[in-house]
Amino acid sequence: MKVEDILKHAYAMPLTNPSYPPGPYRFFDREYIIITYRTSREALEAVVPAPLEIDEPLVKYEFIRMPDSTGFGDYTETGQVIPVTYRGQKGGYVHSMYLDDDAPITGGREIWGFPKKLASPKIVNEGEVIVGTLHYGSVLCATGTMGYKHKPVDQGPLLSALSEPNFLIKIVPHVDATPRICELVRYYLTDITIKEAWTSPAALDLRPHVMADVARLPVLEVVSAVHFTADLTLGLGEVVHDYLAERR
């Protein structure tokens, strides 16, 4: 293969058979359970990177069912998003993500820098309760339970929250295992259509695991919970801070 052919086709790895197609990516009937809880400020300060700033010591634990997404297929995801501000702009810092499909793991890490790991999250309905779980191998690491569709939610504030930016750290190592890329990335969800949204009482249990450390941000109090479905587009990102530039 000639050099010009390599540069023409070099979109993602592997070179001749990439793990995912180019984005952006559209999601249909995306189902969320988001349980917002209070944690310790000290725990948050140990994981939230500067120049992001913490307001209240809150965490959003999310279970997300994605039955139909362009390029990525059918999968389920769970993880933690921390409300933050960046230069006065409110948003969320994506701290952890666990999912069960290769393409969005690979694409998410390579394009944006999503902190994705392979695991087994699930959302199921059990009578009057909707249940979200996270298993890492055979070990149960997270359980979220929520009453099924108790009270409709005002969709205006929910749409505003979904439209806020999200931030994450993209890290790509060099061939000598030193950081080659270390950047703060911002991205948005766009073209959002909320189909239904509900709130109910909820409970959340997080358990320690060496490779799925969701319990590192302990649950002190459940503040609120929302269950909703939406169509939306996962937009591509932009670099807002280059950590390695400070060393150059």
d(CA 177, CA 165): 30
Question: Is 116 an annotated catalytic residue?
Answer: yes
Radius of gyration of the chain measured on its C-alpha atoms: 18
Whole-angstrom CA distances from 174 to 19, 53, 179, 182, 248 are 21, 29, 6, 11, 16
pLDDT reported for residue 6:
83
Residue 150 counted as domain residue: yes
Q: How many domains does the chain have?
A: 1
Which CATH number do you get for residue 179? 2.40.400.10
Residue 137 counted as domain residue: yes
Residue 204 counted as domain residue: yes
Residue 187 counted as domain residue: yes
The residue from 2, 116, 149, 195 that is catalytic is 116
Residue 177 counted as domain residue: yes
Residue 16 counted as domain residue: no
Letter for the amino acid at 156?
A: G
Q: Note down pLDDT in tens along the chain; length 248 residues.
A: 888 888 888 888 898 899 999 888 999 999 999 999 999 999 999 999 999 999 999 999 999 999 999 999 999 999 999 999 999 999 999 999 999 999 999 999 999 999 999 999 999 999 999 999 999 999 999 999 999 999 999 999 999 999 999 999 999 999 999 999 999 999 999 999 999 999 999 999 999 999 999 999 999 999 999 999 999 999 999 999 999 997 76
pLDDT reported for residue 54:
97
Residue 17 counted as domain residue: no
- Which residue in 117, 70, 119, 124 sits closest to 94, CA to CA? 117
pLDDT reported for residue 163:
97
pLDDT reported for residue 227:
98
pTM (predicted TM-score): 0.95
Q: Measure CA 84 to chain center.
A: 14
Residue 148 counted as domain residue: yes
Element (H, E) at 1: none
Question: Residue 184's domain spans which residues?
Answer: 27-242
Whole-angstrom CA distances from 129 to 35, 37, 81, 117, 190 are 14, 19, 23, 27, 30
